[in-house]
């Protein structure tokens, strides 16, 4: 894996906005960064794909174990959260997508899991569409680990009847969340579905009918929510979730792998696995330097690592201690590999990098490619 300096296109922002990508710059700084890209080999793409599939297999085995042996307390889920998560898992409710954040330099040490964004992953539109447009413009003879767009459309077709309705919700004032939801709505529309949007605050409960409805009193049968399950259940309507016939995307069982405590469960079940890092619910057990992460922290907030402390709103949460894995450094930049899954299968790669070893909301997204004359196995 190599980091290459490239010249940004002079119309970078206009092209991004033309795709519907409204947050290519954030606070006057590039988020979508065309000044560099990563070159991988086909063999490295194959290895990433295999590692992602293996980690998904381990994760599903761990969820099954957690449900069977009632690991609720270890995962720090409330009884209400646990009840709907267990019911969701036992019903085998399907997942649409997820993102595993991996540390890897492309060398002999295998990719290892930093965390699993299983409930509300973002950076999807830029991974699926924006970097693909860059590739077609700048290096059309090359290829990219990127099957996201087609996989999402195919999955919508498998999950819902053509002409059916999937409602979509988030907090629209958050540009990245709204952009992610609008992109997923577009893939649902391309799959032949109706895809109306509603604000989280517009979800209402009709007691007489025993169902959720929108402001137009239309039943919400299927709802994609880019809104964390713990937040959703704290909403006024959250107490009705267990009784509602709504099909949720992501389903409630995704609360289990989404919490950072799941990292400790994975290590407990599969100690020494080459794609995992040691992780525990107590400090000092990893055998070396370690990083402390809040169970439900997001965007690099409230992280304690060697020489690093980040602030944020999650300081009061329980924490998990994970072995410190130094991110590779390329020209002063530290990349994290976001390996995407759609319907539980590897589907693409997005790379974010930061000037520090902690990836946060100010980190930049950079494209990648691999030479087309070395096609990755499929």
**Per-residue pLDDT, 378:** 40
Taking residue 301's Cβ as centre, other Cβ atoms within 10 Å add up to: 17
* pTM of structure: 0.95
- Spell 159-173 as b/e; 16+ CB within 10 A means b: bbeeebbbbbbbeee
The C-alpha atoms of residue 191 and residue 247 are separated, in whole angstroms, by: 18
342-378: pLDDT as tens digits? 999 999 999 999 998 888 878 999 999 999 865 554 4
Beta-sheet pairing, 290-294 with 112-117: unpaired
> Quick one: average pLDDT of 298-308?
84
The DSSP H or E segment spanning 34 is none
The number of CA neighbours under 13 Å toward the Cβ of 172 is 9
**Per-residue pLDDT, 374:** 53
End-to-end Cα spacing for the chain: 20
141-191: pLDDT as tens digits? 999 999 999 999 999 999 887 789 999 999 988 889 999 999 999 999 999
Cα 286 to Cα 102, 278, 289, 310, 361: the distances in Å are 18, 6, 7, 21, 27
**What residue has token string 């649409």?**
96
**Per-residue pLDDT, 373:** 67
Evaluate whether 206 touches 262 at the Cβ level (below 8 Å): no
Label residue 280 by pLDDT band (50, 70, 90). Answer: very high
Q: Tell me the β-bridge partners of 351.
A: 337, 366
Beta-sheet pairing, 247-249 with 222-225: parallel
Respond yes or no on whether the N-terminal peptide bond of residue 250 is cis (omega within 30° of 0): yes
The C-alpha atoms of residue 50 and residue 106 are separated, in whole angstroms, by: 14
239-268: pLDDT as tens digits? 999 999 999 999 999 999 999 999 999 999
Domains and CATH numbers, the chain: 1-141+254-378 (no CATH), 160-249 (3.40.50.20)
**What residue has token string 């994760």?**
59
Evaluate whether 355 touches 25 at the Cβ level (below 8 Å): no
The C-alpha atoms of residue 16 and residue 7 are separated, in whole angstroms, by: 16
The C-alpha atoms of residue 120 and residue 116 are separated, in whole angstroms, by: 10
**Per-residue pLDDT, 145:** 98
- Please tell me whether residue 53 adopts helix, strand or coil conformation: helix
Nearest C-alpha neighbor of 274 from the set 16, 24, 27, 55: 55
Average pLDDT, the chain: 94
Read off the tokens for 368. 């990648």
221-231: pLDDT as tens digits? 999 999 999 99
> Quick one: average pLDDT of 274-288?
96
3-44: pLDDT as tens digits? 999 999 999 999 999 999 999 998 888 999 999 999 999 999
Cα 91 to Cα 22, 252, 286, 287, 323: the distances in Å are 38, 11, 36, 39, 35
**Per-residue pLDDT, 199:** 95
Evaluate whether 376 touches 145 at the Cβ level (below 8 Å): yes
> Quick one: average pLDDT of 111-130?
96
The C-alpha atoms of residue 55 and residue 353 are separated, in whole angstroms, by: 22
The C-alpha atoms of residue 344 and residue 59 are separated, in whole angstroms, by: 10
């Amino acid at each position: 894996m190599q980091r290459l300096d490239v010249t940004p296109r002079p119309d970078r922002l206009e092209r991004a906005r033309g795709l519907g990508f409204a947050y290519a710059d954030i606070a006057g700084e590039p988020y979508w960064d065309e000044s560099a890209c990563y070159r991988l080999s086909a063999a490295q793409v194959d290895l990433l794909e295999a590692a992602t599939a293996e980690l998904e297999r381990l994760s599903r085995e761990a969820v099954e174990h957690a449900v069977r042996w009632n690991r609720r307390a270890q995962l720090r889920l409330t009884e209400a959260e646990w009840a709907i998560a267990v019911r969701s898992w036992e019903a085998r409710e399907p997942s649409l997508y997820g993102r595993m954040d991996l540390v890897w330099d492309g060398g002999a040490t295998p990719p290892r899991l930093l965390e699993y964004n299983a409930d509300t992953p973002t950076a999807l539109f830029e991974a699926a569409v924006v970097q693909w447009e860059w590739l077609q413009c700048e290096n059309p003879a090359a290829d990219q680990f990127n099957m996201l767009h087609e996989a999402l459309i195919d999955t919508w077709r498998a999950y819902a009847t053509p002409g059916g309705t999937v409602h979509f919700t988030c907090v629209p004032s958050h540009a990245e969340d709204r952009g992610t939801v609008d992109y997923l709505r577009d893939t649902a529309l391309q799959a032949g579905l109706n895809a109306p949007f509603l604000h989280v605050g517009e979800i209402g409960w009709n007691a007489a009918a025993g169902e959720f409805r929108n402001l137009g009193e239309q039943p919400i049968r299927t709802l994609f929510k880019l809104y964390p399950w713990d937040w959703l259940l704290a909403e006024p309507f959250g107490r009705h979730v267990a009784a509602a016939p709504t099909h949720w995307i992501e389903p409630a069982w995704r609360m289990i792998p989404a919490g950072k405590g799941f990292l400790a469960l994975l290590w407990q079940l599969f100690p020494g696995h080459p794609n995992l890092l040691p992780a525990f619910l107590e400090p000092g057990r990893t055998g070396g330097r370690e990083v402390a992460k809040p169970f439900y922290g997001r965007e690099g907030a409230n992280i304690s690592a060697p020489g690093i402390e980040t602030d944020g709103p999650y300081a009061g949460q329980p924490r998990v201690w994970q072995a410190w894995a130094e991110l590779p450094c390329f020209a002063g930049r530290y990349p994290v590999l976001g390996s995407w899954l759609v319907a539980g299968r590897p589907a693409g790669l997005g790379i974010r990098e930061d000037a520090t070893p902690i990836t946060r909301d100010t980190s930049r997204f950079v494209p990648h490619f691999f030479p087309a004359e070395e096609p990755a196995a499929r």
